[in-house]
Chain A
Amino acid sequence: MLRPDLQIIRTWIPDGTRVLDLGCGSGALLANLRDTKGVQGYGLEIDQDNIAACFESGVNVIEQDIDEGLGNIQDKRFDYVLMTQALQAVHRPDLVLSEMLRVGHEAIVTFPNFGHWRVRGYLFFKGRMPVSPTLPHQWYNSPNIHLCTVRDFEAHCREQGYRILQSMVVDRHHEAGVMTRFLPNLFGEIALFRVAR
């Protein structure tokens, strides 16, 4: 079974395309895309347990740290460059996003929305850094060093001239409801965006 956010991304990617997955984890999405859509993909990963899992499922995986750039990959090599739940954990999300749109025609990113009402409420009422099921870490050990809100991301795209081709905001069960549709930055816990330059 594919993780629900990956299930959504899966439907955004057409058959027979070329895909690069940054921080591909165990390679589940790439294996699924290969088997069901004939997608030729590569994953970049730094965790060796994940790399071993990719090996076992026959997914192309390359040990490479996204924070060190994608300089070894030529322009527009891929149709889609994905990064799920990692944008907030890289050193420079703006540079990574720009690199994603250099090596790929389109980029697909997902991230936890820091504008969710529960996050806002946590900070407002408790006066402490928010901890929630989607953001389970403490301020001192969190890998999420560049958290942003849906509105932040949209503003960044506007400033950089990226076009938002598709977006979706879901709750932590990866379901979209009336509230997430009307007030995504307040009710969405996870945001999914497909953008192009």
Chain B
Amino acid sequence: MPDIIPADSVGLVTPTTLHFDQPLELECGRRLDAYELVYETYGSLNAARSNAVLICHALSGHHHAAGYYSMDDKRPGWWDNAIGPGKAIDTNRFFVVSLNNIGGCHGSTGPSSINPANGQPWGPDFPMVTVRDWVSSQTRLADALGIQQWAAVIGGSLGGMQALQWSIDYPDRLRHAVVIASAPKLSAQNIAFNEVARQSILTDPNFHGGRYYLHDTYPRQGLILARMVGHITYLSDDAMRAKFGRDLRAGKFHFGFDVEFQVESYLRHQGETFSRNFDANTYLLMTKALDYYDPSRDFDNDLEAALRQTECRFLVMSFTSDWRFSPQRSEEIVNALVRIARDVSYAEIDTDKGHDAFLVDIPEYLKLFSAYMRRVSIEVQDAAS
């Protein structure tokens, strides 16, 4: 709980919900006739409407990226260390928009929303949505907010994929794409981890074929397991060793299967917390969106051909100890862009924080991020004057 709101915080914020009636045609062939998007904004839009920045969230993402809802909040939004006055995404300069994607479980239309066809939660009947569908729904939000062109579209991990997709599908609607700890597509190993997570949910007896809402329950164990395995892959071996080592909770072995090692306790806690705050169907759907993502598929599996659509400038960043979305995967994007003569910059941040590093307060990372965004804001000012 903040006793006082820190000076570099966007302060108290409230989300907004927008209803869209124009049907959204989805990549899977189905369509959503109507849907809602919940979003937050920080900072103010300039007269030229040229200083808007879109934040795309990652797998378990949320529209609440910065600030506090009330003085009782234990924590600010998920990317508060990067968004705020004087921070990398400086709200004194930028108008920041952060939304919850469709299929989500924090207010935007998703599997836990009511299906107008039968008055019951969508559950497994909710259509499969992809990164491209998300980007397409985000253009509707941009239209509604009167934003023709984003100064930057920014995202980490799955969010970075959305930024990349924006640059391919709507090249003239963004000036910069900032793609952090991401990849042009998932590897087999990455899909494998997602499949373990999905299987743990799908085989939970409380899953009820995805209609657990009607049984007044949810696949708690499945979600916990899914998150535990996911969480291991978001950290690095070094970070886990530094944080937990082989520390025991009670200082001695109990020769049983209860929690003994600190790392077990931590993982269970992470899983528990997550299971209470996240919808299982949304988790299934978002992991599939990750697995399906591959913009080169429409271009004969040629990433360069896909990226030839782009007109914006790119910043790509990766983290040395990230083995879920390794620096090599980011370099695939960078190398393809250099080959086709697109403007791109790349930094590899030295850290032991693993994939989660993109959310962590790492001085070198935030310094580079800030430097890049300062340039973006100068361009915005030059264009407006």
Contacts and interface: CB of A to CB of B under 8 A. Distances in A.
Interface of A: 18, 40, 42, 48, 51-64, 72-74, 77
A55 B341 contact: no
B348 A56 contact: no
Contacts of A51: 345, 347, 368
B276 interface: no
A102 B147 CA distance: 45
Q: Which 8 A-B pairs have the closest CB atoms?
A: A52-B371, A55-B371, A55-B372, A62-B346, A72-B335, A63-B347, A56-B371, A63-B348
Contacts of A55: 315, 345, 368, 371-372, 374-375
Given A51-B347, A63-B346, A77-B338, A58 B367 contact: no
B339 interface: yes
Per DSSP, chain B at the interface is helix
B369 to A, nearest CB: 9
A14 to B, nearest CB: 17
Interface in B354-384: 364, 367-368, 371-372, 374-375, 379
Contacts, number: 53
A193 B374 CA distance: 36
B375 A62 contact: no
Nearest to B373: A55
5 contacts: A48-B368, A51-B345, A55-B374, A60-B343, A63-B348
A62 B345 contact: yes
A90 B325 CA distance: 30
A60 B344 contact: yes
Interface residues of B, number: 21
Interface of B: 315, 331, 334-335, 338-339, 341, 343-348, 364, 367-368, 371-372, 374-375, 379
Contacts of A56: 371-372, 374-375
Contacts of B345: 51, 54-55, 59-62
A64 B343 CA distance: 16
Nearest to A46: B348
Contacts of A57: 375
Q: Quick one: which of A51, A57, A63, A72 has the most chain B CB within 10 A? A: A63
A52 B367 contact: yes
B364 A42 contact: no
Contacts of A64: 346
A58 B338 contact: no
Nearest to B343: A60
Contacts of A77: 338-339
Q: Quick one: which of B315, B334, B347, B367 has the most chain A CB within 10 A? A: B347
Contacts of A60: 343-345
Contact of B347 (A18, A42, A48, A53): A48
Contacts of B379: 58
A72 B374 contact: no
Contacts of B339: 74, 77
A62 B368 contact: no
Contacts of A48: 347, 364, 367-368
A59 to B, nearest CB: 8
Contacts of A53: 371
Contacts of B343: 60
B336 to A, nearest CB: 10
B331 A52 contact: no
B348 to A, nearest CB: 5
